[in-house]
Amino acid sequence: MPDQSPSLKPMTVQEALEHAPRRTPLDKTWMAVLSVFFAFYIADCLIWFMDECPFKEAVVPYTHPPMIAFGWTQYWSLFCPEVRNVIYHETAVVTFQDGSTRLYEFPRFDLMSEREHFKREKLRKMFLDNMPWPGYEQFLPVFGRYIARANDNPSSRPVQVTFVHNICNIPEPTLDMSKWTYRARLPHHTVKDVKFVFQVRKPDLDESPSEEPALIP
Amino acid sequence: MSIKDDINRLRQGWQNFWFAPASPVPMALFRIGLGLVVIQCLVVHLLADWHLYYGDYAIVPIEDMISKYWRGDPYFDLMLLLPPGEEWRWYFFWMTAVFAGMMTIGLFTRVSAVLTFLCLMSLQHHFLINQNAGDNYLRIATMCVALSNAGDALSLDSLIKCIRQDWRITGFLAPLSSPWAQRLLQVQICLAYYHTWVAKMAGETWWNKGTAVYFATRYDDVMRFPLPFILDNYYCIQILTWGTLVVEFALWSLIWFRATRYWVLLAGLGLHLGIEYCMNLPMFEWLFMLTYFLFIYPEDLERFWSGVVAFVHKHIARPSKLMFDGSCIVCVRTVGLIHHLDIFKLVNLIDFRTATTSELGLEPADRDRLESEILLATPSGKILGGFQAFRYMTGRLPLLLALFPLLYLPIVAQLGELVYRTFAANRFKILGGRCPQGVCQTATSS
């Protein structure tokens, strides 16, 4: 509760306009507890930011769980230490029992309208920033299963989903402006790189009800 | 100077930094901005593909999320407690939006901010692989708002409180309190800038070649508006790259010094607005820019607002005089509420019991009216009483502006007049509290 003024003498309008009450100050025990918390928080973050080293390996098992539990997990190494020098999009080739194939193209943010892109940023994060890169490869079978189910056809069921990374290098910048690559004239993603092949098993499709929604609404 | 003195000085500095009482206004401003971004995150970004993330046929079911990502780590997720069925997750999602809305307007601020934090953390942990750095910051910032006194200003809570208390005892300004949660968020953003700066310094394209901005602005998956022609050449790209390093360095170091703080914030604004212009990365840039509010000294914020108010008074609307009965607690509380709603200070308050005749500037007949109703003297000299005065003020108080046209409807106007007169005539019988000495019994006991 805010502290009241020491005297109960009423203030005039002018005095009230300039007066701010004070909340009861924290007692010393609270200050000490909070100070320990601040010190721990800062140390916890700084340890987390460190490059891999024996000290970090030894300490992180103790400092990281509270970070996860209280929601302080954080990564700020965006565009670093090196910016990527490639542009890309993702596709998946679904192969059916009868040998036919179907190409599934993950959302193309390079072709989307500004508004749609803004709205669906989380899809970009999932399919472009995370799915094709190390650290998220454990999810590829899960994505493969989803795509297989979404493309299931009782007459010829999917047997394989092949994830393809369509990529190209951004040309190096030059001092010669005639060879300069402007943003509007970027090369196409012409290099194909197979990232993962998911073999569809029967149980992967069995749980799939017919009313399952398509991958992209 | 002994080591003991140094330690004492350090301890004193630490305590002053975290706990010296400060105005809650910067944190309240941040709370409003943060609440709007949380709502944007939910209603724009997550809702667009909600079924893909949280539906019964989510692309990554929670069992897979637990086995492939959580891996035994203590992730907090209230959604695990929900009964099966996506409809429950749907309700949970909308409850989070409601809590975020309540936090934004400052209704039960502490509780709503805590609930927003817990629900947001649950939604994020339930489906982790669409999260970006903006989501991390959103969660941490919501935690800090939940721990702060951000509801003490610019909130419905503070309006409700001002109806209950007597400003002649408490004053009009928001209560000062330990700003430790605000400081934690200030430290947090500096940690973020520190981390990104250190990581960039290790990169060849950042430090040695100075070409990082060239590549970053060519990512076709996040591209927004075209780079201005003048900046699209090798030397400008290098200046922008190294400039980014300089600004990010300043944003965790020089920002702490009063002399450099506002220059650093200005440079930071330039950096984030530049990224916002070139790249489609929702939330992140705005969250960081919003945090800059926390670095503005409250007295400067006040000075800035006084400038806005002076501009409004000079060019848009001149202030009116509201004369009220200072011995009536109902009137005191009512004008207290009006003052809190009056963000442009368009209503000057005058207690007719203590004011001189020249201050009031009223005819004797009007002076008698003050015993039964509040009077408002408009800038043009017109005297309005009771309901008419209230109606006039709704047109000048931005937060009540929506009421203004409604109060001109024939039946509403007559009804309002009747209610006002009946209440004003019986205010002492209804609520008591008359006290000619200046402070009412009701006032002191409140």
Q: A68-122, pLDDT tens digit by residue?
A: 999 999 989 888 888 999 999 999 999 999 999 999 999 999 999 989 999 999 9
- pLDDT for B90 equals 96
- Do B433 and B424 contact (CB within 8 A), yes or no? no
**Same-domain pairing of A29 and A7:** yes
Residue A192 resides in a domain: yes
Question: Cα–Cα distance between A96 and A93 in angstroms, integer?
Answer: 10
CA distance to partner chain A, nearest, from residue B203 (Å): 4
**Same-domain pairing of A34 and A79:** yes
**Same-domain pairing of A95 and A46:** no
Residue A37 has pLDDT above 90, yes or no: yes
**Same-domain pairing of A66 and A118:** no
User: Which among A71, A122, A180 has the least Cβ separation from residue B130?
Assistant: A122
Segment B78-108, tens digit of pLDDT: 999 999 999 999 999 999 999 999 999 999 9
Q: What's the whole-number mean pLDDT along residues B194-203? A: 92
ipTM score here? 0.88
Segment B36-52, tens digit of pLDDT: 999 999 999 999 999 99
User: Which among A25, A114, A142 has the least Cβ separation from residue B224?
Assistant: A114
pLDDT cut 90: percent of chain A above it: 65
Question: Please, which pLDDT band fits residue B428 given cuts at 50, 70 and 90?
Answer: low
Residue A171 has pLDDT above 70, yes or no: yes
CA distance to partner chain B, nearest, from residue A21 (Å): 5
- pLDDT for B446 equals 30
Pairwise CB contact (< 8 Å): A5 & B350: no
Question: Cα–Cα distance between A63 and B57 in angstroms, integer?
Answer: 35
Residue A109 resides in a domain: yes
Residue A181 resides in a domain: yes
- Do A189 and A168 contact (CB within 8 A), yes or no? yes
Q: Which of A24, A54, A83 is the last residue of a domain?
A: A83
- Do A215 and B59 contact (CB within 8 A), yes or no? yes
- pLDDT for A215 equals 45
- pLDDT for B439 equals 40
User: Which among B171, B218, B281 has the least Cβ separation from residue A87?
Assistant: B218
Pairwise CB contact (< 8 Å): B60 & A22: no
Segment B174-193, tens digit of pLDDT: 999 999 999 999 999 999 99
Q: Which has more pLDDT, B2 or B298?
A: B298
Q: Is B31 exposed, middle or buried (0-12, 13-18, 19+ CB in 10 A)?
A: buried
Q: What's the whole-number mean pLDDT along residues B388-398? A: 87
Residue A25 resides in a domain: yes
Question: Please, which pLDDT band fits residue A216 given cuts at 50, 70 and 90?
Answer: very low
Segment A178-189, tens digit of pLDDT: 888 888 889 999
Q: Print the SS3 string covering chain B.
A: CCHHHHHHHHHHHHHHHHHCCECCHHHHHHHHHHHHHHHHHHHHHHHHHHHHHHCCCCCCCHHHHHHHHHCCCCCCCHHHHCCCCHHHHHHHHHHHHHHHHHHHHCCCHHHHHHHHHHHHHHHHHHCCCCCCHHHHHHHHHHHHHHHCCHHHCCCHHHHHHHHHCCHHHHCCCCCEECCHHHHHHHHHHHHHHHHHHHHHHCCHHHHCCCCHHHHHCCCCCCECCCCCHHHCCHHHHHHHHHHHHHHHHHHHCHHHCHHHHHHHHHHHHHHHHHHHHHECCCCHHHHHHHHHHHHCCHHHHHHHHHHHHHHHHHHCCCCEEEEECCCCHHHHHHHHHHHHHCCCCCEEEEECCCCCHHHHCCCHHHHHHCCCCCEEECCCCCEEEHHHHHHHHHCCCHHHCCHHHHCCCHHHHHHHHHHHHHHHHCHHHHHCCCCCCCCCHHHHHC
Pairwise CB contact (< 8 Å): A20 & B171: yes
- pLDDT for A101 equals 95
- Do A145 and A200 contact (CB within 8 A), yes or no? yes
Full set of structural domains in chain B with CATH: 22-173 (no CATH), 179-281 (no CATH), 318-445 (3.40.30)
Segment B99-132, tens digit of pLDDT: 999 999 999 999 999 999 999 999 999 999 999 9
Count: domains in chain A: 2
Q: What's the whole-number mean pLDDT along residues A26-40? A: 94
Taking the mean position of all CA atoms in its chain, how far away is CA A56?
A: 24
Nearest to B109 by CA among B138, B150, B139: B150
Question: Cα–Cα distance between A15 and A150 in angstroms, integer?
Answer: 70
**Same-domain pairing of A94 and A195:** yes
A160: containing domain: 86-206
Which chain A residue's Cα is nearest to B215? Answer: A85
Nearest to B46 by CA among B93, B114, B112, B79: B93
Chain B residues inside the 8 Å CB shell of A151? none
Interface test with B, best of A79, A170, A175 (most B CBs within 10 A): A79
- pLDDT for A210 equals 45
- Do B389 and B323 contact (CB within 8 A), yes or no? no
Chain A residues inside the 8 Å CB shell of B354? 12
CA distance to partner chain A, nearest, from residue B283 (Å): 10
**Same-domain pairing of A35 and A138:** no
Residue B435 has pLDDT above 60, yes or no: no
Residue A122 resides in a domain: yes
**Same-domain pairing of A61 and A111:** no
- Do A72 and B140 contact (CB within 8 A), yes or no? yes
Interface test with A, best of B214, B291, B331, B347 (most A CBs within 10 A): B214
Q: What's the whole-number mean pLDDT along residues B136-160? A: 94
Q: Which has more pLDDT, A128 or B368?
A: A128
- pLDDT for B443 equals 35
Segment B291-336, tens digit of pLDDT: 999 999 999 999 999 999 999 999 998 999 888 887 778 788 888 8
At B282, which amino acid appears?
Answer: P
- pLDDT for B1 equals 64
**Same-domain pairing of A96 and A76:** no
**Same-domain pairing of A165 and A117:** yes
**Same-domain pairing of A199 and A103:** yes
Residue A70 resides in a domain: yes
**Same-domain pairing of A40 and A106:** no
Would you give the DSSP letter of residue A26? P
Chain A residues inside the 8 Å CB shell of B38? none
Residue A61 resides in a domain: yes
Residue A216 resides in a domain: no
Q: Which has more pLDDT, B163 or B442?
A: B163
Q: What's the whole-number mean pLDDT along residues B280-287? A: 92
Helices (H), A70-191: 114-119, 121-124, 140-150
- Do A52 and B35 contact (CB within 8 A), yes or no? no
Which chain A residue's Cα is nearest to B350? Answer: A13
**Same-domain pairing of A65 and A47:** yes
> Is the omega angle on the peptide bond into residue B398 within 30 degrees of 0, that is, cis?
no
Pairwise CB contact (< 8 Å): A87 & B444: no
Pairwise CB contact (< 8 Å): B349 & A13: yes
Would you give the DSSP letter of residue A99? S
Pairwise CB contact (< 8 Å): B237 & A18: no
Q: Print the SS3 string covering B354-378.
A: CCCHHHHCCCHHHHHHCCCCCEEEC
Question: Cα–Cα distance between B188 and A45 in angstroms, integer?
Answer: 9
Q: Which of A83, A115, A148 is the last residue of a domain?
A: A83
Long-range interactions of A27-33: CB distance < 8 A, separation 24+ = A31/B15, A31/B18, A31/B19
Q: Which of A83, A102, A118 is the last residue of a domain?
A: A83
Nearest to B66 by CA among B54, B80, B52, B56: B80
Segment B299-311, tens digit of pLDDT: 999 999 999 999 9
Chain A residues inside the 8 Å CB shell of B199? 76-77, 80-81
Question: Cα–Cα distance between B81 and B71 in angstroms, integer?
Answer: 19
Size of interface A-B (CB pairs under 8 A): 267
CA distances from B176 to B159, B186, B344, B442 (A): 16, 18, 22, 25
User: Which among A26, A65, A186 has the least Cβ separation from residue B220?
Assistant: A186
Segment B214-268, tens digit of pLDDT: 999 999 999 988 888 878 889 999 999 999 999 999 999 999 999 999 999 999 9
Token pair of A67 as six digits: 């970070």
User: Which among A85, A139, A182 has the least Cβ separation from residue B60?
Assistant: A139
Question: Cα–Cα distance between A62 and B22 in angstroms, integer?
Answer: 35
Rounded to 10 deg, the angle between the B25-40 and B284-291 helix axes is: 170
